[in-house]
Amino acid sequence: MNWVALRRGNFPLTRNLHNSAISFAKANVKKKPLGGKTKAKQGFKTKNASDSKVKKSGTTHLVFKDAVRRLGYEKYAPVFTANELAHKDLDTRVGEIVKYKRSTESKLRLLGSFKKYQHHELFRNPVSLISENLIQINNRFVEKFDDGSANNRTILMGDYKVGKSTLISQTQSLVDDKYNGEVVLLHFDYPERTKEGTSDYLFNKRREIYQQPMFTKRWIMKTRQANKDIFSKMLLSKDVTFVTRKVEFKYEAGKNTLYEYLKNCHDFGKTESNNAFEFFISELKHHSATYPVLLSIDNFNALTTSPFTKYKHPDFKPIHFKEFEVGKFFLDYASGSENFTKGGVLLGESCDSGKHDNLSIALGLTAYDPYRASSLDTNLIERLMSNGGISVFDVQQLPKSQIRSLCEFYHENGVLFMRDYIYKDDDREVDLSLEQIADLNYTKSGGNPGLLLKHVTMSF
């Protein structure tokens, strides 16, 4: 109580009942207890009670980085006009910013070629730049499709965010355009899934191999959707019989298509031994002379860095990735022991998966050290070195001219973020020309497209 105020005669104003209407009196609001449990109200909710609640627009439970990707911000991006990425006259279009063909883009989306954290939400459609890397991969890989996949194996290596995964999707697009969509695209965007223990597994005694029904089923589903047109043209080379939902299907060679088989055969996801995946690959192999196959495996070094999976044998020994059906498929085609008559195997390295000498020795980048043999998987190295080995493609940083064209494009699309001058008290006005901005960004990113995009978009 303020005793000084009381002594001066400043008494607190109190409301007298005789000169104020009762209707003006404040309603007696029951105070809620500060702590402890409140008594729950029993009974049904009235209609009015639910109406009075203001429903807030739901966003997402995801963290910011994932939310911007999932909430479809690309819908609000300005529409841009750019030419489509095409195989024709590629050499003359270096430095041009292009978008993917509509049909190819939908295929690549289904296959998972556009990865998260690549900031595709900034633009209406995924964009790409025709760089020297693309020209080189076209000459060294796409043009060699007729040699067969065993003789056409390339691994993309390079610095963090230099564009290895983007180059894979660009290559897929080029191949798709070169063969007018009559090419089979097989893509594994995250092969770590085969070894991280998220799929069920069972042992196929006949083939002496482990199968992963959940993983295989999901991969087959998206591959089937992406390659629908081409699979619909592929007639089966062998008769096949299977049972789905108590209905027996008898597909005859030369009559039914591979798409029909993939659509109706649910053996891929069955928790019992089957040879559906083997049959599918054998069919692709059979047709590969007519319809080339591009097998692309991103993050391939994740498999070679730690080849043992989190799965265990019944005797509690870890299972090697090559003992799985899909892992064996990776290794067979990456090592060239299996071959598509026309096609290629494109592998990608991930800088997040750690480095190990297994891969670098297999590629001939590091000398084999016999004193470290115990930490190496010599069998895996030998397999990868066999049949002429895998050729290394070193993905290069972009030159300044291409960084400039990227900055110009970002500026046109409202993506380019320019910071205030560092010394805010300074009256100097900063008016940078595009040339200066390009210089600045080239210096900061060192020609790395991923770092450039991060730098111009992120405020940190």
Partner 1 sequence: MGVHVFGKSIKHNSLVSVGLAKKIFGVGFLTAERICAKVGIYPQMRMNQLTEPQILAINKELSDLTIEGHLKQKINDNIKLKRTIGTWAGQRHAAGLPVRGQRTRNNASTANRLNKLDRHT
Comparing CB distances to partner 1, the nearer of 203 and 249 is 203
Comparing CB distances to partner 1, the nearer of 198 and 282 is 198
Q: Which residues bind partner 1 (CB under 8 A)?
A: 196-203, 310-316
Tokens of 105: 């883009």
Comparing CB distances to partner 1, the nearer of 200 and 382 is 200
Comparing CB distances to partner 1, the nearer of 197 and 414 is 197
**C-beta of residue 434 within 8 angstroms of C-beta of residue 406:** no
Residue 438, helix vs strand vs coil: helix
Q: To the nearest whole angstrom, how small is the minimum distance from the Cβ of residue 200 to partner 1?
A: 5
**C-beta of residue 123 within 8 angstroms of C-beta of residue 413:** yes
Comparing CB distances to partner 1, the nearer of 201 and 442 is 201
Q: Which amino acid, 379?
A: N
- Long-range pairs for 141-148 at CB < 8 Å and ≥24 separation? 141/171, 141/344, 141/346, 141/393, 142/87, 142/171, 142/174, 142/175, 142/178, 142/344, 144/344, 145/175, 145/178, 145/292, 145/294, 145/342, 145/343, 145/344, 146/342, 148/339, 148/340, 148/341, 148/342, 148/343
Comparing CB distances to partner 1, the nearer of 208 and 425 is 208
- The number of C-alpha atoms within 13 Å of 1 and in the hemisphere containing its C-beta is 6
Number of other CB atoms surrounding residue 404 within 10 Å: 19
Q: Look-up: residue for tokens 């390659």?
A: 227
Q: To the nearest whole angstrom, how small is the minimum distance from the Cβ of residue 44 to partner 1?
A: 26
Q: To the nearest whole angstrom, how small is the minimum distance from the Cβ of residue 308 to partner 1?
A: 13
Q: To the nearest whole angstrom, how small is the minimum distance from the Cβ of residue 243 to partner 1?
A: 20
Q: To the nearest whole angstrom, how small is the minimum distance from the Cβ of residue 324 to partner 1?
A: 12
Tokens of 311: 């799965």
Q: To the nearest whole angstrom, how small is the minimum distance from the Cβ of residue 307 to partner 1?
A: 17
Q: To the nearest whole angstrom, how small is the minimum distance from the Cβ of residue 276 to partner 1?
A: 20
What sign does the dihedral 276-253-250-264 (CA atoms) show? positive
Tell me how far the alpha carbon of residue 431 is from its chain's centroid: 38
Tokens of 371: 């004193």
Comparing CB distances to partner 1, the nearer of 95 and 318 is 318
Tokens of 378: 């010599």
Q: To the nearest whole angstrom, how small is the minimum distance from the Cβ of residue 334 to partner 1?
A: 25
Residue 54 burial by CB count (10 A; 0-12/13-18/19+): exposed, middle or buried? exposed
Comparing CB distances to partner 1, the nearer of 311 and 442 is 311
Q: To the nearest whole angstrom, how small is the minimum distance from the Cβ of residue 318 to partner 1?
A: 9
Q: Per-residue DSSP letters for 325-383? A: HHHHHHHHHHHTSS--SSEEEEEE--TTS---HHHHHHTTSS---GGGGGGS-HHHHHH
Round to whole Å and give the CA distance between 343 and 185.
10
Tokens of 280: 């599918």
Comparing CB distances to partner 1, the nearer of 102 and 310 is 310
Q: Per-residue DSSP letters for 114-142? A: S-TTS-GGGSSS-EEE--HHHHHHHHHTG
Comparing CB distances to partner 1, the nearer of 97 and 326 is 326
Q: Which amino acid, 283?
A: E
Comparing CB distances to partner 1, the nearer of 202 and 416 is 202
Q: To the nearest whole angstrom, how small is the minimum distance from the Cβ of residue 211 to partner 1?
A: 12
Q: To the nearest whole angstrom, how small is the minimum distance from the Cβ of residue 197 to partner 1?
A: 3
